[in-house]
Amino acid sequence: MSIVQCVPNFSEGRNQEVIQKIVEGIQSVPGVRVLDYSSDKDHNRSVVTLVGSKEVIVEGVFAGIKVATELIDMTKHQGEHPRMGATDVVPFIPIKDVTMDECVELANKLGKKMGEELGIPVYLYEKAATQNHRTNLANIRKGEYEGLAKKMEDPKWYPDYGPKEFNRKSGATAVGARMPLVAFNVNLNTSDLTIAEKIAKNVRLSGGGLHSVKAMGVELKERGIVQVSMNMVDYKKTPLYRAVELIKIEAQRYGVSVVGSEIIGLVPMDALVESIEYYLGLEDFRKDQILENRLYQE
């Protein structure tokens, strides 16, 4: 059975009753599962993580979006996090037995449905983007809800789906497809933050380092050490082992060592398998050799 993850962000982080109703809407769809949800009062925003097969995931997230469209009024919304809609952003993420192209299709299916049935302007972003200037979510959201009516007058910002007119109550939504993100931090045996910052720079793409790695230096004050804190935005392109091994090599220049690492939050099994194949030197390993994968195959 395929697994697609979907992580809609809603512009409500204070009224628990509203958040609860959105989650219940999603959970009402058979085969869809809410793995996690969390709200931030300052951001006035909630993030829901749901999973389901490619057959049911759109229906699942749509049920939540429908509730959000009814209960959230953007004319009254305030919060620190940039936002442009009641349902602000909806990425589809391939986890198992599903391709990125199929996730792009799911984004299109949801966008069309939101436009037609809810009257919400939808912009496709990341892998689902139809135009280059819409790949980056920050570009789409620039100006936020308050600037949206004016922005939509420009043909460059006509939505991919839904009405070309500004929707006062719901704003607009970015719907897209992207790889799962793995939050991976590598600890160094020094308290010198500048070393972590230098290594982070060398490891990330923009500093002449690795593709699909975003990195910064962070201080772990309690432990008296520093870490290279990374977002691995495409573990298929750049697996975890490559980042940690490169950090080890860079660390030598500063006379420091890697003393540990951590994965924050969830990680798809595939992201670990890529690295175990490297370290054990596995030849011809097939993922269906993992007993659990055989088990849940349909």
The question of whether 81 is a catalytic residue gets the answer: yes
Determine which one of 43, 77, 81, 133 is catalytic.
Answer: 81
Among 116, 164, 168, 269, binds its own copies (CB under 8 A): 269
227 in contact with its own copies (CB under 8 A): no
Point out which span in 113-121, 129-137, 165-173, 284-292 binds its own copies (CB under 8 A).
284-292
Helical residues (DSSP H) of 73-113, grouped into ranges: 100-113
Among 33, 155, 156, 229, binds its own copies (CB under 8 A): 33
Cβ contacts of residue 238 below 8 Å, gap of 6+?
210, 211, 212, 213, 232
Q: What is the DSSP letter of 254?
A: T
Among 35, 55, 165, 253, binds its own copies (CB under 8 A): 35
- Of the candidates 95, 60, 88, the one whose C-alpha atom is nearest the C-alpha of residue 180 is 95
CB of 51 to its own copies, least distance (A): 6
265 in contact with its own copies (CB under 8 A): yes
| Rounded-to-integer distance, Cα 146 and Cα 199, Å | 39
CB of 287 to its own copies, least distance (A): 10
249 in contact with its own copies (CB under 8 A): no
241 in contact with its own copies (CB under 8 A): yes
- For residue 48, the cross-strand partners are 37
Among 5, 46, 69, 167, binds its own copies (CB under 8 A): 5
Residue closer to its own copies (CB basis): 17 or 292: 292
End-to-end Cα, the chain, rounded Å: 5
| Rounded-to-integer distance, Cα 217 and Cα 34, Å | 33
What are the angstrom distances between the C-alpha of 167 and each of 73, 115, 278?
Answer: 11, 11, 50
34 in contact with its own copies (CB under 8 A): no
Apex 128 CA angle, 59 and 145, nearest 5: 80
Q: Which residues within the stretch 137-196 sit at the binding site for its own copies (CB under 8 A)?
A: 180, 186-187
What are the angstrom distances between the C-alpha of 5 and each of 63, 124, 126?
Answer: 15, 17, 15
The residues that touch its own copies, with contacts defined as CB under 8 A, are 3, 5, 33, 35, 51, 95-96, 180, 186-187, 240-241, 244, 258-263, 265-269, 272-273, 275-276, 279-285, 289-292, 294-296
Question: Active-site residues: which are they?
Answer: 81
